[in-house]
Amino acid sequence: GAVVSQHPSWVICKSGTSVKIECRSLDFQATTMFWYRQFPKQSLMLMATSNEGSKATYEQGVEKDKFLINHASLTLSTLTVTSAHPEDSSFYICSARDSRGGTDTQYFGPGTRLTVL
Amino acid sequence: GNSVTQMEGPVTLSEEAFLTINCTYTATGYPSLFWYVQYPGEGLQLLLKATKADDKGSNKGFEATYRKETTSFHLEKGSVQVSDSAVYFCALSLQYGNKLVFGAGTILRVKS
């Protein structure tokens, strides 16, 4: 199967700082990537759809100025949490859409644990 | 709207027991249905999928059948192993390959 990586795997930052999380598709090109947020013992909530070369599409209730998404290449999407606060602490997961051979499957990264102090 | 409801866990079973994890869905169209598994410390992995009514997805001894009449996609395995301990997520997509709507996840613990 296809491999998606995330970096960093965990990060601790002070309130008010910005944090960037990278999502890479390692062995395929992904024109579409997705960013999810997972709270403890809860499901994944889609935050936004990241499209290579165009603006991200945010889900209702997600602040686009708070969560900046950049999909600058076919293998890399970044999520920047700006002016982070403790309520932004969460597990952030990305996925990349693999459309090779008509399979059209989402492959998930291992996630990034963000803790804002 | 579109939503997925899974049975609450954790589900605790002995090795070689039969497993069922219930999943029902609400969708405005004709969704594709998925089961994802998340092993401890790892990312979500696609376990199986079904794209139309009456399709049966299967993988690693797990199977689920797309039941349109009951809007269900229950996950089953005849004999679980300790290595199956993980969190299982049911999900739907209204456009195959497009954004997913997840259920809450069900923790499975298998004891030897």
Please judge whether A44 and B89 are an interchain contact, meaning their C-beta atoms are less than 8 angstroms apart: yes
The pLDDT value recorded for residue B98 is 76
Average pLDDT over chain B, rounded to an integer: 92
Please judge whether A93 and B44 are an interchain contact, meaning their C-beta atoms are less than 8 angstroms apart: yes
Residue B83 phi, psi (nearest 5): -70, -10
The pLDDT value recorded for residue A47 is 95
Q: Which of B43, B89, B96 sits opposite A110 (nearest CB)?
A: B43
Q: Which of residues 36-65 of B touch A (CB under 8 A)?
A: 36, 41-46, 49
Q: What is the DSSP string of A49-87?
A: EEETTS--EEPTT--TTTEEEEEEETTEEEEEE-S--GG
Confidence class of residue B35 from pLDDT cuts 50, 70 and 90?
very high
For residue B59, pLDDT beyond 90: yes
Provide, as residue numbers in chain B, all residues whose Cβ is less than 8 Å from the Cβ of A106: 46, 97, 100
For residue A29, pLDDT beyond 80: yes
The answer to whether residue B66 neighbours chain A at the CB level (below 8 Å) is no
Q: Which of residues 92-111 of B touch A (CB under 8 A)?
A: 96-97, 99-105
How confident is the model over A36-80, as pLDDT tens digits? 998 877 788 999 999 888 889 999 999 999 999 999 899 999 999
Query: Is residue B7 a contact partner of residue B87, using CB atoms and an 8 Å limit?
Result: no
Q: Per DSSP, what are the bridge partners of residue A37? A: A45, A92
How confident is the model over A86-98, as pLDDT tens digits? 999 999 999 998 8
Give the mean pLDDT of B57-71.
Answer: 97
How confident is the model over A1-19, as pLDDT tens digits? 688 999 999 999 999 999 9
How confident is the model over B66-112, as pLDDT tens digits? 999 999 999 999 999 999 999 999 999 887 557 889 999 999 999 99
The pLDDT value recorded for residue B65 is 98
